[in-house]
Structure 1
Amino acid sequence: MKIVVLGGTGRIGARVVALLAERGHEAVAASRSTGVDAVAGTGLDAAFDGADVVVDATESSAWDEAGVIEFFTAATGNVLAAEDRVGVGHHVALSIVGIDRNPEARGYLAGKVVQERLVAESAVPSTIVRATQFFEFLPQIADASTVDGEVRIGTALMQPVAAEAVARALADAAEARTAGAVEVAGPERAPLAEFLRRDLSDRGDARAVVVDPAAGYFGRVVGETSLVPVRDDAVIDPVGYEEWRAAS
């Protein structure tokens, strides 16, 4: 199959391209560096010509709520419209575990709510791959949660996963072309504060992690299980934090 990967030169997208190529597919990386701009809507028709599947692994360059919503509204709308024009058979989107249970989510998560809604409303058959937070993003979470030198985080549970496992789930979804949703997570479930403490310690960062129920997650209070999988058929990758750290 010809499979186009939007964001195909990024953290997840590049891994997806490599995996699909190893499996014998014509995997095409599409990004602004290759002349494809989903937000502007340029280069999409040419990139999608002859494609059986499009995998959307794009990441917003903005993190504020308004900017993220604007990004996903424009990018997802343009991509789906181009797929419909060209005749792409299936769309695979990367999202976040819990988005379907948090329709009023704020901040960055609000943009993913918009993205999922647009995908669901499209005429193009689709699969949504919802992943928990990546191990690779723990430092960014700590930085975003730092106030006066302390990392202040809420009480939500987390079940982080390696980026490699997320890329594999996207590649699997592209091959299967089964409409619906998939959840993917790591093997360990614990308070986010615990993972942040381990990561900071391993990186020699002396910042203290303070559990503050009012602090929430990226500025929003979320339920204890809002960010972990609840589906019985969730894909649980066996790579835990210690194995991921040793490999990275």
Structure 2
Amino acid sequence: MKITVIGGTGLIGSQLVTRLRDAGHEVVAASLSTGVDLLKGTGLDEALEGAETVVNVTNSPTFDEASPEFFRTTMGHLLAAGERAGVRHQVILSIVGVDQVPQLDYYRAKTLQEELLRNGPTPYSIVRATQFFEFMDAVMSWTADDDTVRLPSTRVQPIATAEVVEALADVTTGAPLGGVLDVAGPDVLPLDELGRLTLAARKDPRRVVVDEQAGMFGVVEGDALVAGPGARLAPTHYRDWLESAL
């Protein structure tokens, strides 16, 4: 199968390209560095030529009020190019609970991306993942100083990127879902507890202080970021991943 991965040189995309190639597929890794500008629409026709499936794992360059227009424009270009190329399956990577947190500009933008895909001309699949293990350092950095890390007690169900990639690869090489697959890690934990586990594993002396207004996830209520029934649960626990990453 010939597959084009848009965003194929990023954290998720590069792993997905490798996994698909190892499985024997012909894969095009498309990104700005390979001459494909999704925002301008340039290079898409060449990147999609002969492709049966396209996977879009790109991110908006900002998480603010500009992000909806980014996804509106890029999805318009990609769907049109896919139709011209005869693509039979469009796949995007989204976020668990994305439609339950309208307070966040980026989540509204990703919800718009999903809507555009659903209403597009091509059979589709949406893979929604929970927060990545690999992003915990960034989350803590938003509200940290020399002595403390402020985090809300928002419940999350984090997952390793390698296991997101595994689910994406399975969906990409299968029949279009015409819907959504949630993928998540095995454990539901408060974000502040994840922070404590991370600092302890790294022997970082800072302490975590619960602040329900801190950071991007302070606005999230209830279990919006927890996978629902029918989710595909990955096996790796955050504690084990931390130990292996040291």
* CA apart distance, 1:141: 0.6
Counterpart CA distance in 2 for 1:135 and 1:87 is 36
Instruction: Kindly indicate whether residue 21 of structure 2 is the aligned counterpart of residue 2 of structure 1.
Output: no
Bigger CA drift: 104-113 or 234-243? 104-113
Is the counterpart of residue 209 in structure 1 residue 233 in structure 2?
Answer: no
Query: Which residue number in structure 1 is paired with residue 133 of structure 2?
Result: 135
Change (3 A) 1:208 1:30: same
**Stretch of structure 1 that moved more, 137-146 or 156-165:** 137-146
The percent identity for this pair of structures is 44
Aligned residue in 1 for 2:179: 180
Distance 1:73 1:210 in 2: 38
Q: TM-score, normalised by structure 1?
A: 0.92
After TM superposition, the structure 1 = structure 2 runs for residues 47-86 of structure 1, keeping only pairs within 5 Å, are 47-63=47-63, 65-86=64-85
CA distance in 2, matches of 1:206, 1:107: 34
CA distance in 1, matches of 2:238, 2:46: 41
User: What is the aligned partner in structure 2 of residue 13 from structure 1?
Assistant: 13
Q: What do residues 170-210 of structure 1 show as CA deviations (whole Å, max 9, x unaligned)?
A: 11111113221100011111101111111123234333322
Tell me, what secondary structure is at the counterpart of 2:94?
strand
Contact 1:107–1:219 (CA under 8 A) maintained in structure 2: no
For the residues of structure 2 that align with 1:210 and 1:112, how far apart are their CA atoms? 30
SS at match of 1:176: coil
* Deviation for aligned residue 1:33: 0.7
Instruction: Determine if contact 2:212/2:218 at 8 Å carries over to the other structure.
Output: no
Unaligned runs of 5+ in 2: none
User: Helix, strand or coil: the match of 2:11?
Assistant: coil
The aligned counterpart of 1:191 is 190
- The two structures have a TM-score, normalised by structure 2, of 0.92
Q: Are residue 123 (structure 1) and residue 115 (structure 2) matched? A: no
* Alpha-carbon distance, 1:40 to partner: 1.3
Q: For the structure 1 residues 68 and 204, does the alpha-carbon distance in structure 2 shift closer, same or farther, using more than 3 Å as the test?
A: farther
User: CA 1:168 to 1:210, structure 2 compared with 1: closer, same or farther past 3 Å?
Assistant: same
Equivalent position of 1:43 in the other structure: 43
Give per-residue Cα distances to partners, 1:110-164, cap 9 Å, x unaligned: 2212211211121211100000000000001111233786432223101100000
Q: CA deviation at 1:168?
A: 0.9
TM-superposed deviation, 1:80:
1.3
**Residue ranges of structure 1 left out of the alignment (5+ in a row):** none
CA RMSD in angstroms, aligned pairs only: 1.7
Report which stretch shifted further, 82-91 or 203-212.
203-212
Report the 3-state secondary structure (helix = DSSP H, G, I; strand = E; otherwise coil) of the residue aligned with 2:149.
Answer: strand
Matching of residue 240 in structure 1 with residue 237 in structure 2: yes
Count of residues in Structure 1 that have an aligned counterpart in Structure 2: 244
In structure 2, what is the Cα distance between the partners aligned to 1:30 and 1:140?
A: 26
Distance 2:235 2:139 in 1: 23
Aligned match of 1:165: 163
Supply the AA of the counterpart residue of 2:141.
D
Equivalent pair of 1:129/1:183 in contact (CA under 8 Å): yes
1:208-229 CA-to-partner distances (Å, cap 9, x unmatched) read: 32222233x5165111201010
